[in-house]
Structure 1
Amino acid sequence: MSASHSALVPEWLTAPAEANELVASVWPSSAHRVDDGSVEIAGVSVFDLRDRFGTPLYVLDEDEVRAHARRARDAFGAAAERHGIRSHVYYAGKAFLSTEVVRWVTEEGLAVDVCTRGELEVALAGGADPARLGFHGNNKSVAELERAVEVGIGSVVVDSPIEIERLAAIADRRGAVQSVLVRVRTGVHAETHAFLATAHEDQKFGFSLAGAADAVARIRELPSLRFVGLHAHIGSQIFDSAGFRESAARLVDLHADLLAGGEIPLLNVGGGFGISYTSVDDPRPIEEIADGIVDAIADECEVRGIPMPDVACEPGRVIVGQAGVTLYEVGTVKKVTIGEERERTYVSV
């Protein structure tokens, strides 16, 4: 390969020793090649799937989704149990949501996090208990908030002062008391792509640390709202717990200050746990991440001499990402000459 040609290729992309090898960390564990060179997933041929459903087709291995859901549930459950608290694991619907996925993850003991009216309706249609749903989003419509309160949603993560007032008015009209969390920007940057880091100050989500205290004070003045905890999300495709540790220190600081106004049963650390998209990605095991996050919160609470709240998290892609593949069929193959020495091949699907 010439130097000019190699400039078109990512540094990590090297020719495999065996062209037909499936990278174990990227593919579902049930995926394997059969004698004719094709692939089976959970014992089903991709050709049979194509013939039945056409392409493009997104395929999920149910057993693997369920296994990842149980693993996340057990990892955070064990980490929390060591400190005498409970954990709450929400499947992040933004990763991939369908009624079947809702059924799988809820049967495995997970709650579900939704971000739109559509996701809320899918979760309900999939049999999710409304009391085990959380509603996110930085620009929830009045209609979405109305529907959330109507169905008895477990919690709403409020994101702005105007949303607090809107939600309080809706709950008051309905004679309800709505549980809410306050989303906080901790200022911690995840070790990830800049566009995926969501806790720095110049972005659309949540309140600053100082603004969050004011938001909580306002919520506590409103009889139709009940403040149950803080929420922070530091990014996506995060491979370890280092960023969560620093975020936990800042969250627990604020949590400790707010305890003077009443009990706070929950601390939600968000999610964003990464998966292997390529052969060189190396995310830490979910058990290691869970231990790191929960231990960090425990340490910060101990330093401040305050009781440790229950811990919630929202893993999404780590549950469905590796369990899924997309089937495409090649339509055209075209070689394009670039200058005098380089050529790129386009494969269209």
Structure 2
Amino acid sequence: MEKTASELAPSWLSIPKDVNAISKSIWPASFVRDASGDVQVGGVSVAQLVAKYGSPLMVIDQADFISRAQVVKQAFDSTASKIQTSAKVYYASKSLSTTEVVKWVAANGLNMDVCSAGELALALAGGIEPGRIGLHGNNKSVSEIDEAVTAGVGAIVIDSEIEIERIASISSSQNKIQNVRIRVNSGVHAFTHEYLATSREDQKFGIAIADVPELVAKIRSHSQLNFLGLHSHIGSQIFSVEGFIESVKRLMPLHKLLLETGSVPELNLGGGFGINYTAADQAPEVSFFASEICSEVEKRCRELGIEVPVL
């Protein structure tokens, strides 16, 4: 690799010796260049795709998508089973959501995370079971909550105090019991770009640890709400496991405290595992994150004398 001549370029940006070379760490596994120089994805010529559909064109390799999804699910299934629990893996609709993608997600045993009425409608149109959908968002409208309860989503993640009464009221009007989690702002500073960090003290997302016990008590005071547990999301494009380990350390004592007054079957520690966007990136394998996180959860539960929750 040769350094770029531009003084304005970031230090990691280099000009490759072969500008036509394909970095396997960035592109799909099926992304290759044949002897004639034509690029193929999943065995299909990109030139032929452009000739048929025009350009610009977004192309997704279904086999590669499914393979990556299975790697993530298997990593957490395997490590969770070693500590006598299970894990729920969610696909984030915001990354790419089409009805066809939803079908792939559903067929491979993943759950689906949605953050709006539009994403919810698309997930349902794609055929995934409503019970495998989780509704997120720090500014949910009453109509979005109503649509989620009507659909029978598996969980709604509470992001502010006002949502407790709204979800309870809507659930009561429909004579339903709605599963909920509460999003905790743990104050953990994830090792990522500051614009991708979502759990710092000045962030709009979630509820401060000190305020959680009171709000969980409010949730439990409503017979229409079923409290599943805590949820945390410290950011995106994270290459280091330390932030997740620190989240476990901060949330496990709170988890134990809440167990003193009721059931807390789950502890959702979020995702945000980094991927390679450039040849300079060196993202750890998901299996590494899964192993380290599960190991820390098991360790803290053993020290606190409590059962390992569903992750």
Aligned to 1:95: 95
Residues 156-212 of structure 1 deviation map (CA, whole Å, 9 limit, x = unaligned): 000011111111100010000100000000010110001111011111111000111
Aligned to 1:262: 262
SS of match in other structure, 2:15: coil
SS of match in other structure, 1:6: coil
Residues 125-144 of structure 1 deviation map (CA, whole Å, 9 limit, x = unaligned): 11100001000000011110
Indicate if the aligned counterparts of 2:185 and 2:205 stay in contact, CA closer than 8 A: yes
Aligned to 1:44: 44
Once the two structures are superposed, the pairs formed by residues 180-191 of structure 1 within 5 Å of their partners are 180-191=180-191
Once the two structures are superposed, the pairs formed by residues 93-132 of structure 1 within 5 Å of their partners are 93-132=93-132
Indicate if the aligned counterparts of 2:134 and 2:156 stay in contact, CA closer than 8 A: yes
Q: Which runs of 5+ in 1 are unaligned?
A: 312-349
Aligned to 1:22: 22
Closer, same or farther: CA 94–4 of 1 in aligned 2, 3 Å:
closer
Work out which structure has the larger RCO, using CA pairs closer than 8 Å and 6 or more positions apart in sequence.
1
Residues 253-284 of structure 1 deviation map (CA, whole Å, 9 limit, x = unaligned): 11000001111111101110110000010111
- What's the TM-score once normalised by structure 2's chain length? 0.97
Q: Which runs of 5+ in 2 are unaligned?
A: none
Indicate if the aligned counterparts of 2:4 and 2:13 stay in contact, CA closer than 8 A: no
Give the share of equivalent positions with the same residue, in percent. Answer: 46
Aligned to 1:231: 231
Aligned to 1:301: 301
Distance in 1 between residues matched to 2:140 and 2:171, nearest whole Å: 15
Residues 11-47 of structure 1 deviation map (CA, whole Å, 9 limit, x = unaligned): 2122212221001100111001112222110111111
SS of match in other structure, 1:9: coil
Aligned to 2:222: 222
SS of match in other structure, 1:276: coil
Compute the displacement of 1:5 (Å): 5.0
Residues 196-236 of structure 1 deviation map (CA, whole Å, 9 limit, x = unaligned): 11011111111000111111111000111110110000000
Q: Please, what is the CA RMSD of the aligned residues? A: 1.3
**Greater share of residues in strand:** 1
Aligned to 2:75: 75
Aligned to 1:148: 148
Amino acid at match of 1:103: K
Compute the displacement of 1:7 (Å): 1.2
- What's the TM-score once normalised by structure 1's chain length? 0.87
Residues 224-252 of structure 1 deviation map (CA, whole Å, 9 limit, x = unaligned): 11101100000000113211000011111
Distance in 2 between residues matched to 1:146 and 1:259, nearest whole Å: 29
Residues 28-86 of structure 1 deviation map (CA, whole Å, 9 limit, x = unaligned): 11001112222110111111111222222111110011011111111000110001111
Aligned to 1:161: 161
Runs (4+) off by over 2 Å:
3-6
Distance in 1 between residues matched to 2:84 and 2:58, nearest whole Å: 41
Aligned residues: 309
Residues 112-136 of structure 1 deviation map (CA, whole Å, 9 limit, x = unaligned): 1100111101111111000010000
